[in-house]
Structure 1
Amino acid sequence: MRSPQKPSQEAAPALQAPPAEAGQGPTFAELGLQPALLAGLERLSIGRPTAVQRLAIPALRRGRSALCAAETGSGKTLAYLLPLLERLLGRPEAPAEAAGPAAPRGLVVLPSRELAAQVGAVAAALCAPAGLAVRGLTGGGAAGGLRRQLRAPPPGPAVLLGTPGALREALRRRFLGLERLRWMVLDEADTLMDESFTELLEEILAHATQVVVVGATFPAGLSETLAKFTDVDRFVTLSTQSLHRLPPHVQQKFVRLKGRDKLPELLLLLKERPASGGAVLIFCNSASTVNWLGYILDDHKIKHLRLQGQMSAAARAGIFASFQKGEVSVLVCTDLASRGLDTSSVQLVWFLHVFSCIL
């Protein structure tokens, strides 16, 4: 996983090649990427490809649709962005007309605004040397906000990153057109395979000629679900050898506690943890539990941030970024923060299963 201060792939040691294999495998240049994308990688301080990138880049450059499964922190974002951006650069087109709806050539669908912002920052760094415009489209505001996001200069983004609700509303209001769409990505796909998104996926998939489905876990029945929208027989499967294996540098510990002991144990841990002990993620099972625990931490003067899906867009804006930057070292959240977000500074993750039972 990449650190926000220095987005290097060196942050997750278990995902690197063993010493005997260090330096082996092709470089990004040897994978055939254009100089503009190599310049973007240099801006991100990223050196050699990871395993999933070595698998995905050649296949996706050839235009293959794919199911791409790899462990968290393995570099899946670059694994799909680099070859798909390469394809856009290889087939330049005139910009879309400023007067009409935004008509991107590439689309990445993501489950949350936080993940859209994170992937968008990487995409912008890659696209800047290549002269490709990138836009993010997230909801939570008035319809005029969607139009402003899409029409911000320069108009006609080549690549659009959006959340399902915002994309659906932009299509409904005809702020967004799909006639120029060449490829689409479903990132954290298992969270997007929801009945409420069926109509949206059908509409988008009818236009995209190349589809990439990405995730760290693929639930049973994913292929059957995809088959409702597209021809899954044309998909190639790309997966790493480390998929579904516990990284050796991650220690797991299970503590069985009675309901009344959960809060005291957590408070003791937070108070005794040294300032140099790294960041802490505390997952709760509902938004109400996040808020309740936050009030308790306030009473004990434990500085923290809260993140849950019932917050307004304005309230959520910047919360995870502040946590990533280390401004606050404790984040209390729902599973909203569990999908694809860069948590390389985190040293402790605490799961409070059915924490609400102590209320």
Structure 2
Amino acid sequence: MLSLKVGYSTLASSRVYQTQLSRLSTACVYFSICPASAEGIPVIRVPRSVQNRVENVKQTRVINKISTSKAGKLLIQGRNASLNQSVGYTHGKFDVPTLCSKGWKHKKSFGDYFTVNNIKSVAPFVSASKEEEIKKPVKTFHRLQISTELIETLERSNIIHPTTVQLQTIPKVMRGHNILCAAETGSGKTLSYLLPIMHKLQLSKEINHEASPEIRAMVVVPSRELAEQVASVSKTLCIPLGLETRTVGGGRGVGRIKGVFKRGVPDVLVATPGALVKALRRRCLDLSHLRFLVVDEADTMFDPSFSDMLEEILQHVEIASAPAETQDPLNKAQLLAIGATFPGGVGDVLSRVTDLGSIVVIKSKMLHFLMPHVKQTFLKVRGQDKVLELNHYLKRLQQEHGGAGGNAVLVFCNKSSTVNWLGYSLEEMGVPHTRIQGEMPAVVRTGIFHRFQKSTTDILLCTDVASRGLDTSRVRLVVNYDFPQSHTDYIHRAGRVGRAGGCEDGEVLSFVTHPWEVELVQKIETAARRRTSLPGMESAIREPEPKVVETEELS
């Protein structure tokens, strides 16, 4: 009877190694039997290829046993507890994290889930937390040299401390710089440009002792809903200063657009690009004396669908190339581009109207990162089960937080038809809700969203028309019924919760159904585990590449 001296007897303790041993025994046909050793026992030599294969299995087992979970709070928490990752664990530069969503393209993964927990109680764009207030005094708007009337107006709305983006942006605007500001959604960007504009308009009015016959400040936004919202904030700030704000939005005929300017010229105009282009082509207004041009939601405004109209608008405005040009006697306009992500085509458009070197870039440290103060859950679910899962979460929210007021929910769908179909399904289940989607007239959409903001209803089914810039401070839960088609859309949708002055325990729930959605989720989970920004996002303003002119060589 022969004895086999291989040295891998410990492999039999696992299924993987049993499989390797079975392959090893099969390979014994090729083993060479050496002469008997000194002990008289024949020795079978194992080929080097088989030894390497077994060694690789041992190394893989060691790697898989690395635990990313330590004592304390969990950053990533999933159905498979072995894949959890604690807040205290940090991946190495070249480590490849093991994902909870790794096998989600398989049909057996339905029902799996993982959560990116909120590891901070306060939003990163808030200038100081309650603990920091004890250690050092908190900055207020008085330190930003804002007029007393504006500060008192803010205090009546319980706005006392400026956010980080406001601390960074307001002084630069006051000094006359052109600004490109990119910061998280809900970080207070609207006030960061309206406050210094109102302050400077008031000073100009006091110096001239009369109202200006031209529009002095204009805010361009992509949708009528956002125009009404920005105008509402602007009107509140204008009241104590004796200034006037008007709105020109889409969905109106040329007659109504002309009617806005028949009653005189406002100090501040909030407009959508389509309506503004109509007014400029019919010479309803003159922008030659404009002092401030704000392009809000710049990532959308510099998109190809709006960039041509925006470029036409910019051609009617003299943009300053230096802060000195904003003063007498030149009095050129300051350009303020504001957004939650850096627009890809900003360099191409702005280079035609001003020197890019004159633009001050203000970029948030957490730009393009997942918000650390918002819980985000990803659920792999079959398409036909999404309605039931949605109903389950809505009931759970009602049970946990009780009555209306702070339980507002936004449910995002990718298509208008899905919004309508989902609405019919929820009606059959007895779930009260309202709907807003792009096929509705702009006037109707504005009225519906206004009622939602006033707590008339708590559940709003919508498309991405409601994901850009709108104030949703009372929203506690965002549901991606259809997973967004890009990381940019995900950032904007998730930004509807966790806003400055809003609910502190906001949550995002995303249903994941299709394989292409899994690929986006895996990139989001990888970024969350590595504590890095989402991939594929613009992060800098660049000079446009020079166009290559083809010339024929002379022979």
Question: Shared topology, TM-score over 0.5?
Answer: yes
* 1:314 corresponds to: 443
| Paired residues of 2:293 and 2:336 also in contact (CA < 8 A) | yes
* Higher mean C-alpha deviation, range 220-229 or range 303-312: 220-229
Structure 1 position 121, deviation (Å)? 1.1
Structure 1 position 146, deviation (Å)? 1.4
| Paired residues of 1:187 and 1:213 also in contact (CA < 8 A) | yes
Taking the aligned partners of 2:409 and 2:358, their CA distance within structure 1 comes to: 42
> Which structure has the bigger radius of gyration?
2
| Paired residues of 1:70 and 1:239 also in contact (CA < 8 A) | yes
Is 1:133 matched up with 2:254? no
- Structure 1 residues 96 and 151, CA gap change in structure 2 (3 angstroms): farther
Q: 3-state SS of the aligned residue for 1:252?
A: strand
Is 1:232 matched up with 2:356? yes
Structure 2: runs of 5 or more not aligned: 1-120, 320-332, 484-510, 515-555
* 1:84 corresponds to: 197
Counterpart mapping for 1:238-257 below 5 A: 238-257=362-381
Counterpart mapping for 1:133-212 below 5 A: 133-152=244-263, 155-206=264-315, 207=317, 208=319, 209-212=333-336
* 2:431 corresponds to: 302
Give the one of 391, 397, 401 matched to 1:267: 391
Give the one of 232, 251, 255 matched to 1:121: 232
* Higher mean C-alpha deviation, range 346-355 or range 212-221: 346-355
* Higher mean C-alpha deviation, range 244-253 or range 23-32: 23-32
The residue type equivalent to 2:211 in the other structure is: P
Counterpart mapping for 1:41-56 below 5 A: 41-56=154-169
> How far does the alpha carbon of each residue in 1:58-84 deviate from its partner, in whole angstroms, 9 at most, with x for none?
100011001111111111111111112
Q: 3-state SS of the aligned residue for 1:157?
A: coil
> How far does the alpha carbon of each residue in 1:1-25 deviate from its partner, in whole angstroms, 9 at most, with x for none?
xxxxxxxxxxx94242233433645
The residue type equivalent to 2:241 in the other structure is: A
| Paired residues of 1:282 and 1:350 also in contact (CA < 8 A) | yes
| Paired residues of 2:412 and 2:463 also in contact (CA < 8 A) | yes
Q: 3-state SS of the aligned residue for 1:341?
A: coil
Structure 1 position 201, deviation (Å)? 2.4
Taking the aligned partners of 2:397 and 2:304, their CA distance within structure 1 comes to: 43
* 2:412 corresponds to: 283
Q: 3-state SS of the aligned residue for 1:86?
A: helix
Structure 1 position 230, deviation (Å)? 3.1
The residue type equivalent to 2:196 in the other structure is: P
Taking the aligned partners of 1:96 and 1:182, their CA distance within structure 2 comes to: 11
Q: 3-state SS of the aligned residue for 1:129?
A: helix
Percent identity between matched residues is 47
The residue type equivalent to 2:215 in the other structure is: P
The residue type equivalent to 2:180 in the other structure is: L
* Higher mean C-alpha deviation, range 37-46 or range 339-348: 37-46
When normalised by structure 1's length, the TM-score is 0.87
Higher RCO (C-alpha 8 Å, min separation 6): 1
* 1:65 corresponds to: 178
Taking the aligned partners of 1:313 and 1:116, their CA distance within structure 2 comes to: 11
Structure 1 position 108, deviation (Å)? 0.4
| Paired residues of 1:279 and 1:330 also in contact (CA < 8 A) | yes
- Structure 1 residues 19 and 315, CA gap change in structure 2 (3 angstroms): closer
The residue type equivalent to 1:115 in the other structure is: L
| Paired residues of 2:302 and 2:343 also in contact (CA < 8 A) | no
Taking the aligned partners of 1:341 and 1:173, their CA distance within structure 2 comes to: 30
| Paired residues of 2:177 and 2:359 also in contact (CA < 8 A) | yes
Is 1:75 matched up with 2:204? no
| Paired residues of 1:139 and 1:146 also in contact (CA < 8 A) | no
Taking the aligned partners of 1:314 and 1:106, their CA distance within structure 2 comes to: 24
- Structure 1 residues 349 and 175, CA gap change in structure 2 (3 angstroms): same
| Paired residues of 1:44 and 1:125 also in contact (CA < 8 A) | no
Taking the aligned partners of 1:59 and 1:216, their CA distance within structure 2 comes to: 18
Is 1:327 matched up with 2:456? yes
> How far does the alpha carbon of each residue in 1:185-243 deviate from its partner, in whole angstroms, 9 at most, with x for none?
11110111133434432343241421011111114443344324432211001123333
Is 1:95 matched up with 2:219? no
* 1:6 corresponds to: none
> How far does the alpha carbon of each residue in 1:255-300 deviate from its partner, in whole angstroms, 9 at most, with x for none?
0111222122223333454153711110000112111211222222
Taking the aligned partners of 1:44 and 1:27, their CA distance within structure 2 comes to: 14
| Paired residues of 1:40 and 1:128 also in contact (CA < 8 A) | no
When normalised by structure 2's length, the TM-score is 0.57
Counterpart mapping for 1:10-49 below 5 A: 13-14=122-123, 15-16=125-126, 17-22=128-133, 24=137, 26-49=139-162
* 1:218 corresponds to: 342
* Higher mean C-alpha deviation, range 302-311 or range 27-36: 27-36
- Structure 1 residues 241 and 198, CA gap change in structure 2 (3 angstroms): closer
| Paired residues of 2:219 and 2:294 also in contact (CA < 8 A) | yes
| Paired residues of 2:311 and 2:349 also in contact (CA < 8 A) | no
> How far does the alpha carbon of each residue in 1:93-121 deviate from its partner, in whole angstroms, 9 at most, with x for none?
54355xxxxx4110101111111111111
Aligned pairs, how many? 339
Q: 3-state SS of the aligned residue for 1:343?
A: coil
- Structure 1 residues 195 and 123, CA gap change in structure 2 (3 angstroms): same
